[in-house]
C-alpha cells in the first residue's frame, strides 16, 4: 500500500487526542494537547499541528499518510466546519478541516461529530461489531450521540442529526445549558452536569459529606465518584439521580430507532454500576411495552480515547480534495 496510514483526531471539550492508525486499526503513535486553554483558534491549530507533525514524522512522514479524520463537537461532515459548539472555547462557524489541511501541507481532512466518530469506532472495533442498529452515548464534558440505523450513520440533511444530549428533559425551571437552552439532558448527565448537581445538593442540604471538604467551585465528577466509593450518601444519590434521568431519556430514544444496543462511552462510564444500575431501573420503568427487554445496555469495549480516535481515523481513508471540505 502506497500510503499505509491515516490520522485520527478526537477533539474534546477538555483534551484533544490524536494518533497515527494503520489499516488494522492499531494506533501506532499518539499524542494529546489541552483544548480549553486556547481561547484563540489560531493558537489551538498551531499547537495541534505541531503535535501532529511529531507523530506523522514517527510514522515516516507525510508521504505515508493517506488522510486525516476528525471527530469534534458539532462537527459537520458535509462542510468540514465546527458550528456553534457549546463546549468549545471558539464560537460561531470554524472551518476546522480547511485550517488543519492548510497547516499540514494540504493533507486531505474529513470532519464529523465526535460522537459519530465514537460510533464508527464501536462498529468497527468495539461493542457494536456486527450490529446495524445501535446508539452510542458519550458521557464526557458534554453528552453526545451517534445513531446508526441499517448500518449507516444518521447525519440528516444538514449533517447535524443526532444531538440527543440536547433533548430537553426538564421543561420547567430547567438548568441553563451551554447551548443556550434550558433543561437539556447534557446540563444534568454530563461530567460537568454531575459536578453541578453536587454543588446544588451541598447548597440546599445539611447532610454530612466528604464533598464538603472541597472547594465547591472546584468539585469534579471524579470527586463525586471518589466520595461515592466511600459510601458518601450525597454522592451516591447524585449518581442515582443522574442514572434515572439517563434511563428516562433512553426509553424515548429506543422508541425512536429501536436499537439493538445503547453503548455508553466516556469518563462517567468509569462509575460502572453506580451509573448503570439506576439507568436500567429507570429504563425498565419508562420503556414502552413493545420495546421492553429488547435493547442491550453496554459499556464501550474500547479504551476511553480509542473509540473516537479510531472512528475518526476511518474517515481518513476517504481520499478527497481538501477543497471539498470547506
The pLDDT-based confidence of 190 (bands split at 50, 70, 90) is very high
* DSSP category for residue 316: T
pLDDT number for residue 319: 64
What sign does the CA torsion over 281, 178, 79, 47 have? negative
- Residue of 306, 267, 262 lying closest to 13 (CA atoms): 267
Does residue 47 carry a pLDDT above 80?
Answer: yes
According to the CATH classification, is domain 5-118+306-325 in 3.30.420.40? Answer: yes
Question: Is pLDDT larger for residue 76 or for residue 325?
Answer: 76
Give the pLDDT confidence of 152-179 residue by residue, as tens digits.
Answer: 999 999 888 989 999 999 999 999 998 8
What sign does the CA torsion over 10, 16, 22, 26 have? negative
Helix residue ranges, H only, the chain: 41-58, 96-103, 114-125, 186-189, 191-204, 221-228, 233-257, 273-286, 306-315
What sign does the CA torsion over 306, 250, 161, 129 have? positive
β-strand partners of 17: 10, 32
β-strand partners of 71: 10, 112
pLDDT number for residue 12: 85
β-strand partners of 9: 18, 70
CATH of domain 131-299: 3.30.420.40
The set of cell numbers assigned to 39 is 481561547
Does residue 323 carry a pLDDT above 60?
Answer: no
Per DSSP bridges, beta strands 15-22 and 27-34 are antiparallel
- Residue of 279, 205, 269 lying closest to 235 (CA atoms): 205
Give the pLDDT confidence of 271-322 residue by residue, as tens digits.
Answer: 999 999 999 999 999 999 999 999 999 999 887 667 789 989 988 987 654 4
Composition of the chain by helix, strand, coil, percent to 5: 40, 20, 35
Give the pLDDT confidence of 226-266 residue by residue, as tens digits.
Answer: 999 999 999 999 999 999 999 999 999 999 999 999 999 98
* DSSP category for residue 140: S
**Whole-prediction pTM value?**
0.84
Give the residue extent of every domain in the chain. Answer: 5-118+306-325, 131-299
CATH topology match: 5-118+306-325 vs 131-299:
yes
Distances 272 to 109, 139, 196, 300 between C-alpha atoms, Å: 35, 13, 20, 11
Distances 151 to 115, 123, 154, 298, 326 between C-alpha atoms, Å: 16, 9, 9, 18, 27
Burial 298-315 (b: 16+ CB within 10 A, else e): bbbebeebbbbbbbbbbb
pLDDT number for residue 165: 95
Amino acid at each position: 500500500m502506497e500510503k499505509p496510514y491515516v490520522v485520527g483526531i478526537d477533539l474534546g471539550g477538555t483534551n484533544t487526542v490524536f494518533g497515527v492508525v494503520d489499516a488494522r486499526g492499531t494506533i501506532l503513535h499518539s499524542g494529546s494537547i489541552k483544548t480549553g486553554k486556547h481561547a484563540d483558534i489560531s493558537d489551538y491549530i498551531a499547537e495541534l499541528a505541531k503535535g501532529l507533525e511529531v507523530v506523522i514524522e514517527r510514522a515516516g512522514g507525510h508521504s505515508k499518510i493517506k488522510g486525516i479524520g476528525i471527530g469534534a463537537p458539532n462537527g459537520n461532515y458535509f462542510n468540514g466546519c465546527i458550528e456553534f459548539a457549546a463546549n468549545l472555547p471558539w464560537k460561531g462557524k470554524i472551518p476546522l478541516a480547511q485550517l488543519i489541511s492548510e497547516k499540514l501541507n494540504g493533507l486531505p481532512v474529513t470532519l464529523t461529530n465526535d460522537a459519530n466518530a465514537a460510533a464508527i469506532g464501536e462498529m468497527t472495533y468495539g461493542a457494536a461489531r456486527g450490529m446495524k442498529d445501535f446508539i452510542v452515548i458519550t458521557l464526557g464534558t458534554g453528552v453526545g450521540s451517534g445513531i446508526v440505523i441499517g448500518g449507516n450513520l444518521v447525519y440528516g440533511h444538514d449533517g447535524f442529526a443526532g444531538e440527543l444530549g440536547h433533548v430537553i428533559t426538564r421543561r420547567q425551571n430547567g438548568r441553563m445549558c451551554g447551548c443556550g437552552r434550558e433543561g437539556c439532558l447534557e446540563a444534568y448527565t454530563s461530567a460537568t452536569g454531575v459536578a453541578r448537581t453536587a454543588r446544588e445538593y451541598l447548597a440546599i442540604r445539611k447532610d454530612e459529606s466528604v464533598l464538603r471538604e472541597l472547594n465547591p467551585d472546584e468539585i469534579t465528577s471524579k470527586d463525586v465518584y471518589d466520595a461515592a466509593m466511600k459510601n458518601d450518601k450525597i454522592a451516591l444519590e447524585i449518581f442515582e439521580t443522574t442514572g434515572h434521568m439517563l434511563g428516562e431519556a433512553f426509553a424515548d430514544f429506543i422508541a425512536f430507532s429501536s436499537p439493538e444496543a445503547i453503548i455508553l462511552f466516556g469518563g462517567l462510564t468509569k462509575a460502572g454500576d453506580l451509573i448503570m444500575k439506576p439507568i436500567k431501573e429507570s429504563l425498565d420503568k419508562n420503556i414502552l411495552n413493545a420495546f421492553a427487554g429488547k435493547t442491550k445496555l453496554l459499556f464501550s469495549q474500547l479504551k476511553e480515547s480509542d473509540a473516537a480516535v479510531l472512528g475518526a481515523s476511518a474517515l481518513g481513508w476517504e481520499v478527497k480534495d481538501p477543497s471539498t471540505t470547506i
